[in-house]
Structure 1
Amino acid sequence: MSAVDNDPWSLLRGATRARVALGRAGDGLPTGRELEFRAAHAVARDAVHTPLDADRVRAALADAGVGLPLLEVRSQAPDRTTYLQRPDLGRRLADGTELPAGDHDLALVLADGLSPRAVHEHAAGTVAAVLDRLPGWSVAPLVLAHQARVALGDPVGEALGARIVVVLVGERPGLSSADSLGLYLTHDPRPGRADSERNCISNVRPPHGLSYPQAADTLAALLQAARQLGASGVVLKDEGAALPPGAG
């Protein structure tokens, strides 16, 4: 029997990317595990500081068959350093921002957040899956937001005339998840909305997190319920299964 077979933690380690059962060498970690930690930390830092590449996002949307126009906006944070130090600026649109007013059921905002990499890798597939599940919905032009926090979707949705806004944002990287995309739904978006008035679907990052069909199934159900209820956040409950029908 091999050493791996004798290790009772090997099955758990094979089932998760979380840092579990790392072992020890004296009073520290084994060298291999220490190097893995440093590499994962470097990947997380790189994800935070990677610039949002608009051309890459446009190309990914085209490849995914998303035909909506893509507009670009920026927050009041002029650069990445300021963005990280002043979260409040990331919630406000840059002065002079103009967006075409309309009358839409939904606006989708692709926000770099704390992991532009997540937007590069997962936003297009998620958007395509969501749009497939919303026949008959009027959807505003897509908006790509630089140096953006979740709440930037509120003034964007209001300016576009959208009854609901969904912000697809790069989530804070962890040591095993540098490319996680979060979806934040807000009914009747406008500046001043509280976080308690939003619903969140987290960890969209196939194959290690939610798949695009899973995330889209859950979001579509929440969108339909929010429209019927006329609200989102703590009053809107996800009544779906833990894993939606799109699994697999």
Structure 2
Amino acid sequence: MLKVDNLHVRVESEDILKGLNLTVKAGEVHAIMGPNGSGKSTLGHVLAGRPGYTVTAGSAHLLGQDLLALATEERAHLGLFLAFQYPVEIPGVSNMEFLKASVDAVREHRGEPAIDSVSFMKQAREACKSVDLDQAFLKRGVNEGFSGGEKKRNELLQMMLLQPKLCIMDETDSGLDIDALQVVAAGINAMRSPDRSFILVTHYQRLLNFIEPDYVHVLSGGRIVKSGDKSLALELEERGYAWLEDVA
């Protein structure tokens, strides 16, 4: 699904990623943890194609294609989805318009016709129920006036409708109360499948109480310094990150 090899990334004059290696197979869930400033969000932004990041060495391939050579929208067409830590507001564009345009763009790339409005509305309403989001939000501006939890559920709604191959969740649990966290986790678990993979970027082990990862990685100093199963997250919760300095 995804292969990142010796990835080095610079932001302005600062090196953030310093030789990161990561392989994600189809159907796997990988959690990435680490201290602030270690490069967790940078990894997601670079893979998604956000401007402002300079790749100085290394490569990243999604489904065998050179991800770094593709425009942002081409990466989305290929099946990459990034859920932001801080979803942006887009006043004046209704959620429904945004969602349908996004889905139609992906369908066009696959050689499929645009979905008719009635069928799409039915799908969108069902997805709203799944993420505990009032259907009235479909008529509102994208994330405009949404609470933190509503923005995160709206990102999950987008993911459900777009049906991506690789879902990168950048601290989706940030700012969520326990009820909202359980809703988001249930939505992610419902989307797990043999041909879809997830990268969960998180600070806290609590998300992994609801979503069991296949692998947990610790990112420190711009590279992955330790990997393990879900027990590694529990160890990090108990001991913090300082003990990994010798490993790094």
Q: Normalised by the size of structure 1, how large is the TM-score?
A: 0.25
Structure 2 length normalisation: TM-score? 0.25
**Whose relative contact order is higher, 1 or 2, with alpha carbons under 8 Å and at least 6 apart?**
2
Q: Higher Cα Rg: structure 1 or 2?
A: 1
